Structure 1
Amino acid sequence: MIRTLDGKEEGFPSPLIQIRRQQSHLENWLENHKFPRIPCQSFVVISSPSTIIKAPKSLKSQILHSANIPYKLGVLEKKFKEQLLTKPTLKKLSKTLMEKHTEEDVDLFAKYNISKNDILTGVQCPGCGQFPAKRTQGFWRCSFCKHKAKDAHLRTLEEYKYLFGNKISNQQLRSFLHISSRTSATKFFSTLNYVHEGRTKDRVYFIP
């Protein structure tokens, strides 16, 4: 796969090799968990509509723009008409996939070679994207575009969770959301209704 940017060509690993490996892993997983053999089809889907796809005719059927997904699914429905899995087996397969799924635990600071001091703190304005919006009278107000939002903090706390983990203290909340006082932060936690542990001074809350 080749990307041309500013007159420079750069090569990337073939996505076709990746999907064949993933297809093989899925087929082996199904077999190892005693599910019936079913047809597995793999495709490379390009999300950007401006991407130009150049490939041999034999491979073009496996590479498509995202807008072509509904058409491709229609073709597959016509190709595979026989029902191979009963509803109970489908339900069991779905449940097993969910049970065996594990989230990838990535240290983002190590991966991107950044420190915690590089992170912009505060609630980002959902209107213009500027930092930080200020909490006044139950709303987050942006000093740049004057946009106001009631729940803009929810996304910020979600981002905190992915960066630092799902535990957050009163002091950490104040620092990350730019809340001025401990009392204000305590009242803020009461509106979030997070599960917590510990007594008042060393209490930590769990971001769901």
Structure 2
Amino acid sequence: MTVIKGKNVILRPLKESDIPILYRYIYGKEHTEWKKYDAPYYPLEPMSLEAFASAMEKHLRKKEPPGRMIIEHLGEAIGTVNYYWEDESTRWLEAGIVIYPSRFWSRGLGTEALALWIDYLFQHLEIARVGLTTWSGNPRMIRAAEKLGMKMEGRLRKCRYYQGVYYDSIRMGILREEWEEAKKELPFFQNRPASR
């Protein structure tokens, strides 16, 4: 099983014991703070713990490379990274990240986790590009992606309507050769412990 160790975060496979923790993060409060930034224009449909556990089951059985991994900080599961195929036949891949508890925001943990994840995806998948889609209502995500060398590839203006305001959809991406150059300058890869 792959474990990716960074300086402040670890990316590791999902364990069965993570499922109730993730469920509490996602469904535990009526107005979870993270959802205000993670595509809030898509409603979060209520789900029982049993249904959620069943949906997560595929990630417990997934072979390498896993489609979703836990972000751990100081022994605590704080979020997830994932990828999905926009179009697998053309190797068009999109990555995602969520850090659920707001007490872990604005500390560089998400940027580090995303850097480790992008590096892992380029190492383990035959792809030329890693993409990321967000929206103009999530400036922290845009800044994190820019810090890693991702480029703004598309901006669909005023196509997301949320709570009476129009927002832009933001498409960002980085090519393999751009990543190889960018990561030379990133502190996350200086004297990094080996992954296992």
Tell me the TM-score normalized by structure 2.
0.19
Report the structure, 1 or 2, having the larger helix content: 1
Larger Rg: 1
Q: Flag the structure with more relative contact order, 1 or 2, with Cα contacts below 8 A and sequence separation at least 6.
A: 2
Tell me the TM-score normalized by structure 1.
0.18
